[in-house]
Amino acid sequence: MVVGDVTTGTEVLVIGAGPGGYVAAIRAAQKGLDTTLVEKDAYGGACLNRGCIPSKALITGSGLAHEAGNAEFMGVHADPAVDMGKMVEWKDGVVDGLTSGVEKLCKANGVNLVAGTASFTGENTVRVAHGGEGQGSETLSFEHAVVATGSRPVQIPGFDFAEDHVWSSAEALDAETVPDRLGVVGGGYIGMELATTYAKLGADVTVVEMLDDILDPYEDDVKRIVRKRAEELGVEFHFGEGASEWSEAPDGGYLLHTETEAGDESTYGVDRILVAVGRQPVTDGLDPGAAGIETDDRGFVETDDRTRTAVEHIHAVGDVAGDPMLAHAASNEGIVAAEVIAGEPAALDRQAVPAAVFTDPEIGTVGMTEADAEDAGFDPVVGQMPFNASGRAMTTGHTEGFVRIVADEEAGFVLGAQIVGPEASELIAEVALAIEMGATLEDVAATVHTHPTLAEAVMEAAENARGQAIHTLNR
Amino acid sequence: MTIKEFKLPDVGEGVAEGELVSWLVAPGDRVEEDQPVAEVETDKALVEVPSSYDGTVEELFAEEGEMVPVGDVIISFRVDEEGDAEAGASDDADSAAASDSEPDATADEADASAGDTAPDAEPAAESEPDTPSGRTFAPPSARRLARELGVDVAAVDGSGPGGRVTEADVRAHAEGGAAASGGGSDGDAPTPRPAPTDTGSGERKSAVSKRGSADSAAGAGGDAPEPAGRETTLATPATRKVARERDVDLDDVPTDETRDGEAFVTAEAVNAYADALESPAEPTAEPEPVDAEPADAEATPEPAATAAAAASGTASTERDGDETVPYRGVRRTIGKQMERSKFTAPHVTHHDTAEVDALVEAREELKPKAEARGVKLTYMPFVMKAIVAGLKAHPYLNSELREDEEEIVLRREYNLGIAVATDAGLMVPVVDDVDEKGLFELADEVNDLAARARERKLKPDEMKGGTFTITNFGAIGGEYATPIINYPETAILGLGAIEERPVVREGADGDSEVVPAPTLPLSLSIDHRVVDGAIAAEFANTVMEQLEHPLLLLTE
């Protein structure tokens, strides 16, 4: 033990105050467990500080500006000017409100908050190094622990992150000005969301993607709609190219060098380079091995269906525990971890985790695609409703996209949905509920939906799958 | 390394759950395929559960003494195989490839991988054909309840549309699993038949009222459920459709479930209510109206009695110091079987006493010879032979009434069940083809079955197929009893203790005198639906004649 260490004990130690950790801590405290939450940086984790929330703020801001300037067809004429500094300031205010809210909620539920970086020193102890010089450290002993240390953007060799040239998503969300030319490495969901945002803010955006399309896992008809819209916004795509290096250009900007698999090289002139090629788990400094916790070769902590690691009283939730690496999945896992620790029969038995991409238009998916369902041994039936047949979609001016619902033909159980179009991120929630409840197409179709809303399209898609849609031709 | 989970297999016909009596292995132990890992007591027997894998015991999922539904994971093994890369690594590979665009990939992958791992977790032989890739269609609340009750949702029969599992289904599975299979030894007993094949429910209703006009109480009253008569009821659209199809008013369907403070009705509840409405119509299907009424009248006491029992059961409260013992396993099976027999078959018990001087002598004479052949000769084989003689003369006592088919089956075989008291309760192993076996052979077989019954090592098969049962309560003491028939058999013979008792005989002087003589008190219970008292008495006379003149047994 380090001289000057103070040892205190807690029943439940949660490491990391992101959407997995703070939820686990609050639920554990609600269950009457003495709970301590250690956070080295900011409450709310990457999601609230550098991810979901700030990106959605900028997406909304940029979307509003773009929309206002492109509504002549409705008779609206405007030429909005964007004050990027102000927009970021507003975004920071939103983030502050949420993060301080998380802190207050933790306190109100009786969670002990400790600022610092935790490292395991044994199966039942961590040392917490407090931030700043001479702040010292303390040893905490625990009965149960929840590792919720999250993830950070993956760096590629030669592309170290820095505010004035190579951005990660974090820097892209804190920019004071809009670069004239933005090079985006990676056409995944983060790359596409930010490419769309900056295109709407007036940047010339070039996306470089190693694969031959954007948004790799999605079905072609989903990708096509998003890609087409991005191209309309002026985004330029280069597929089959990997970023190899960058250099300074004589004009004061930078050159982004790429290479195809065949060795063909290209160069793009840009003012900033955004690298968005994925996220990796954060376990450095944590020393999980000291507690006997195993990580896989990518650094993720392996867990079972009760979120337990190989060391049974230590759980891991959220991004650090691997896929699906989504904030809402992390929260779900955090709740399960706390309840398992409290001795309840909780388990990760979710049937489907919905996912949303906040591109233009949005994508919302949950559960299985038709192909997934076939692979899983179902006899799938599919129903679709295009938004151009939706009255409400027409009144918003956004009619691209569709709702597709996948079900088991025999029993009618809803298995999945792919929605691309306005408010797809919201619409997907209904289908997620249907899947968890074991609802059938008939249940969804016979539920009265408000008119006129986009949600009617879900009902119509369910009817279409049953061959009796009213507003589309049944296939 | 691959972790393989192992579920409690179906250990016997119709067995829905078993008590995990003892673990024969502990985590970390090496096991080989087919090595017994646990002893499980089912409704019917104590069985050893063998491992399906070579490997190391990873984790035990049930406590000793816990009731485990068939299909629940009870143990996991760490199996040393090549295939372990599959489960984890494929995910990783996929998401690594997609690291550009992670989370959406991963959402879909999460589903896919949930699918991937599920079949891994269960032996291929047990995978449910109708729920591909281990998907279960049950709401989260029902899944949580299942975990709470230790029920494998995949093993629950869902009553909802397409087999969706409700909370009620999970409860029913947890509680009633064994009740459904509680039929005991008679594997072929017909389950209660569904209501006669009327076409529409509307018609059925009118049929009831027409028949019932003479006896409306029986039709309308009976065990027809009370309509709940609520103002409002919540239900899913699919449930509402079921209600329409069954012509049931949702507000009338009884339920304990609520949503947002409102009564909530499931499709299962609708079906149960509709079934209950229809069931009183069943007895009216009897062809002769004259018979129909008493049949109705006799049918009612059963539900009434059980309802009363249930009511008093819930009403009585435990006092300090009372001990609560679970009513499960063998005890409950015996209970259900007794209840069924006594509430179904009108019992009559006929008593008589055989004077068995000659039988005692015969046994004494044969005993050393039996011993020389390593056989312990009791009176039981003699009694069995005597019974076969009686059954041959009176075949209706070797029969089974199949009420629904309106026929009595006279059994060709003479398979005698021998009631054996064990620590866990009554067991009835069956000696097949008694008519074809010699005394020593029977003695051997009875001794073996009785010994194994006491050790709980009987196979379910060895307790099946009986046509008549003997209960030898006299081994413990006593003269007469009123045995309960081992339903659906028609008769059971109880044996008192063979002791010297005063009997009246003709003395040397020709006068009657009371002398001590070995006697065997007999208690014969019969199903009065099948045979009358006279036949019972005649049968008893035949048996007594055989026992009193054991030479006659040679003719058998």
- List pLDDT tens digits, range B145-183: 888 888 888 888 888 877 889 888 888 888 765 333 333
Select the residue of A218, A323, A447 nearest B110 (Cβ to Cβ): A323
CATH architecture of B2-134: Beta Barrel (2.40)
Cβ <8 Å between A217 and B147: no
pLDDT for residue A366 is more than 70: yes
> Domain B347-555 belongs to what architecture?
2-Layer Sandwich (3.30)
More confident residue, A455 or B326: A455
Give the integer Cα–Cα distance in Å for B93 and A315: 24
* ipTM surpassing 0.85: no
Give the least confident one: A72-76, A322-326, A469-473, B314-318: B314-318
Strands (E), B392-511: 399-402, 407-410, 416-422, 425-427, 430-431, 468-471, 491-495, 499-506
Between helices A189-200 and A220-232, what is the axis angle to 10°? 30
- Is the pLDDT at B279 greater than 70? The verdict is no
Average pLDDT over residues A183-188: 96
Structure tokens at B308: 């009363």
Name which of B101, B135, B238 is nearest A187 (Cβ-Cβ).
B101
> Which region, left, alpha or beta, applies to residue B73 given φ > 0 means left and ψ of -120 to 50 means alpha?
beta
Would you give the DSSP letter of residue B412? S
Whether A212 contacts chain B with CB within 8 A? no
User: Which tokens go with A332?
Assistant: 């779900």
Encoded amino acid at B92, one letter: D
Q: Which residues of B touch A447 (CB under 8 A)?
A: 237
Q: Are strands A151-153 and A254-260 parallel, antiparallel or unpaired?
A: unpaired
- pLDDT recorded at residue B314: 47
Q: CATH topology of A7-152+280-341 equal to that of A166-277?
A: yes
Rounded alpha-carbon distances, angstroms, from residue A154 to A183, A430, B104, B320: 17, 33, 17, 65
Residue B515 CB neighbour total at 10 angstroms: 12
User: If you ran DSSP here, which 8-state letter would residue B264 be given?
Assistant: B
How many CB atoms sit inside 10 A of residue A125's CB?
19
User: Rounded to the nearest 5 degrees, what angle is found at the Cα of B129, between the Cα atoms of B127 and B131?
Assistant: 90
Pairing of the two strands B262-263 and B258-259: antiparallel
For residue A434, the distance in angstroms to the closest alpha carbon of chain B comes to 9
Pairing of β B2-7 and β B73-79: antiparallel
In sequence order, what are the beta bridge partners of A315?
Answer: A146, A308
Task: State pLDDT tens for residues B187-200.
Answer: 333 333 333 333 33
Domain boundaries A355-465, CATH class: alpha beta
Among B137, B157, B169, B236, the residue to mutate for chain A (most A Cβ within 10 A): B137
To the nearest whole Å, the CA of A324 is away from the closest chain B CA by 4
Confidence of residue B43 (pLDDT cuts 50, 70, 90): low
Give the confidence band of B308 by pLDDT, cuts at 50, 70, 90: very low
Q: What DSSP element (H or E) covers B144?
A: helix B140-149
Chain B residue closest in CA terms to A299? B92
Cα separation, B242 vs A449, in Å, equals 21
Count Cβ–Cβ pairs < 8 Å, chain A vs chain B: 164
**Under the phi-then-psi rule, with left for phi > 0, alpha for psi from -120 to 50, and beta for the rest, what region is A394?**
alpha
Q: What CA–CA distance (Å, rounded) separates A51 from A391?
A: 34
Q: Is the pLDDT of residue B500 over 80?
A: yes
A376 closest CA partner among B191, B134, B214: B134
Q: B392 pLDDT exceeds 70? A: yes
Label residue B527 left, alpha or beta by phi (over 0 means left) and psi (-120 to 50 means alpha): beta
Does pLDDT of A327 surpass 80? yes
Order of all β-strands in the sheet with B73-79 = B2-7, B73-79, B55-60, B30-31
Residue B455 in this model has a pLDDT that exceeds 80: yes
**Cβ distance of A411 and B112 shorter than 8 Å:** no
Q: Which residues of A touch B108 (CB under 8 A)?
A: 217, 355, 365, 368-369, 372
What pLDDT does A164 receive?
83
Sheet holding A355-357, edge to edge: A355-357, A362-367, A414-421, A402-408, A380-386
Residue B72 — pLDDT band, cuts 50, 70, 90? confident
Domain covering A7-152+280-341 assigned CATH 3.50.50.60 in the classification: yes
Percent of chain B past pLDDT 70, that is, above it, reads 71
Contact B376/A at CB under 8 A: no
Homologous superfamily of domain range A166-277: FAD/NAD(P)-binding domain (3.50.50.60)
Map out the domains of chain B as residue ranges: 2-134, 347-555
Tens of pLDDT along A99-158?
999 999 999 999 999 999 999 999 999 999 987 656 678 899 999 999 999 999 999 999
Q: Of A230-239, A338-347, A417-426, B81-90, give the lowest mean pLDDT range.
A: B81-90
User: Which residues, in sequence order, are CB contacts of B237 under 8 Å at separation 6+?
Assistant: A442, A443, A446, A447
Half-sphere exposure of A36 (CA within 13 A, CB side): 20
Could you give the 3-state DSSP secondary structure of residue A210? coil
How confident is residue A369, by pLDDT bands cut at 50, 70 and 90? Answer: very high
Q: B163 contacts in A (CB within 8 Å)?
A: 411
Q: Which of B427, B446, B452 is nearest to B378 (CA)?
A: B446
A471 is catalytic: no
Check B107 against A354: CB less than 8 A apart.
yes
Written as one string, the DSSP assignment of B301-332 is: HHHHHHHHHHHHHHHS-PPTT-------HHHH
Q: What average pLDDT is seen over chain A?
A: 93
Tell me: pLDDT of B79 over 60: yes
Contact, B523 vs B480, CB < 8 A?
Answer: yes
Q: List A residues 323-362 in contact with B (Cβ-Cβ < 8 A).
A: 323-326, 329, 345-347, 349-355, 357
- Partner-chain contact A345 B147, CB within 8 Å: yes
- ∠B375-B377-B380 over CA atoms, to 5°? 130
Q: How high is the pLDDT of residue B182?
A: 35
Domain chopping of chain A, boundaries: 7-152+280-341, 166-277, 355-465
- pLDDT for B124 equals 36
Distance between CA B249 and CA B281 in Å, rounded? Answer: 19
- Nearest Cα to A419, choosing from A411, A428, A429? A428
For the entire predicted model, the pTM comes to 0.55
Q: Say if A366 is an interface residue toward chain B (CB within 8 Å).
A: yes
Comparing B353 with A1, which gets the higher pLDDT?
B353
**79-108 of B, contacting A, C-beta below 8 A:** 88, 91-92, 95-108
pLDDT tens string A204-261? 999 999 999 999 889 999 999 999 999 999 999 999 999 999 999 988 899 999 999 9
Nearest residue in B to A434, CA atom = B139
**B427-436 confidence digits (pLDDT tens):** 899 999 999 9
Tell me if chain B has a CB within 8 Å of the CB of A367: yes
Chain-chain contact of B106 with A323 (C-beta, under 8 angstroms)? yes
Best mutation target among A208, A350, A437 (most B Cβ atoms within 10 Å) is A437
Nearest to A177, CA basis, from A163, A187, A161: A163
HEC profile of A366-392: EECCHHHHHHCCCCEEEEEEEHHHCHH
A56 vs A197: CA distance, rounded Å: 10
